[in-house]
Amino acid sequence: MQADALAYINLDTAISGDNFHAAGSPVFRKLLLQVLKRVGDPHANATLRDLWDRRGGELEGLGAGSDYVAFQDMAGTSSIDLHFDGPPFPYHSSYDNFGWMERVGDPDFVYHNLLTQVLGLLLIELADRPVMPFDMTAYAVSIRKWVAELASWAVSRNTPLDLDVLKSAANTLGEAVVEFEKWEVTWENKVLASSDWEPLGLGRQREEYNTRMGRFESDLLDLEIGGGVSICYDAGGPGYFWFLLLTVTTDSQPHPVQTRRFWAPTLVRLRRGVFPRHPRHHRVGRLGAGEPDHREGGAHHAQRSREASRIVALL
């Protein structure tokens, strides 16, 4: 699954009201918003995108309370959870049944129908587009946002953290993503210039491009050095999803003291990789578990690869 899975869509407590919500990896942001424009709510006489914008909807971060955990956190498969939310309901009680849904939860099953449309359109776009519709720019923007929120949290907790290296790596990631996404424009122009014919060599490049996006979050897991993803159970600390992206450790349940003592040094070890001149060898942003390595030059590239997980690898 880590090598072959590209995306996972989760439905859990999918319908309990009429307010559409989605939580997941930032790579789904652009595709989700495009799909919501194509699905209309007959009760509100508006598209789901219009309703989303009116309430200031955002793609929320995944937590740790559903089946997506095995996919997003363990396999590194980019995941998204979809549901229509509403007032509290008799969850896991004897009243949580078909009769309640038919009479109270979703009479006429209108929102079941709408969620089916959203799900179907997402599946079609993910399966049929020649280039995976992943929003890597949104991911880079989210990384910078989470770093800023981490800095604010550290200040509020009077926990000094030197995040300069982390901020620099986040900026480097943003720059690299801009270069990475230029390839899709190049591919489209070449195909159009060939009367919609894709040469064999270009097709192989497209497959490789898609593979890099599909394995993007798997590479964050740092599995080659036996690492894992830590969960912060401190209710006052930053969200779990932030640490999924930014920390790697073999300690599965750090308490607040461990969070300050162990995670803080780990966070700032996100550092730049080596950038050979040829763009096919760009590797951007590494999260290391060892001490910072200031050596430069291609000779140490393989060693860095063994020590650190990739934030993004660009060919």
Task: Determine the average pLDDT of the residues in 262-278.
Answer: 31
Q: Both 185 and 264 in a single domain?
A: yes
The DSSP string of the chain is -TTT---EEE-SS-BSSSEEEEEE-GGGHHHHHHHHTT-EETTTTEEHHHHHHHTT---BPP-SSSTHIIIIIII---EEEEEEE-S---TTSTT-SHHHIIIII-GGGHHHHHHHHHHHHHHHHHHH-SS----HHHHHHHHHHHHHHHHHHHHHTT-----HHHHHHHHHHHHHHHHHHHHHHHHHHHHHHTTT---HHHHHHHHHHHHHHHTTTGGGG-GGGT--------TTS--HHHHHHH---S-SS--HHHIIIIIHHHHTTEE-----SSGGG-EEEEEESSS-----SGGGHHHHHHHEEEEEE--
Q: Both 147 and 296 in a single domain?
A: yes
Q: Both 143 and 253 in a single domain?
A: yes
Q: Both 115 and 192 in a single domain?
A: no
Which pLDDT score, from 0 to 100, does residue 174 have?
93
pLDDT above 60: residue 287: no
Confidence tier at 225 by pLDDT (50, 70, 90): low
Domain hosting 215: range is 136-313
pLDDT above 90: residue 237: no
Task: Determine, yes or no, domain membership for 274.
Answer: yes
Domains of the chain: total: 2
Q: What is the pTM of this model?
A: 0.72
Q: Both 142 and 191 in a single domain?
A: yes
Q: Both 158 and 303 in a single domain?
A: yes
Residue pLDDT, tens place only, 15-27: 999 999 999 999 9
Residue where one domain finishes, among candidates 81, 100, 128 = 128
Residue where one domain finishes, among candidates 72, 96, 128 = 128
pLDDT above 90: residue 141: yes
Q: Both 169 and 296 in a single domain?
A: yes
Residue pLDDT, tens place only, 91-105: 889 999 999 999 999
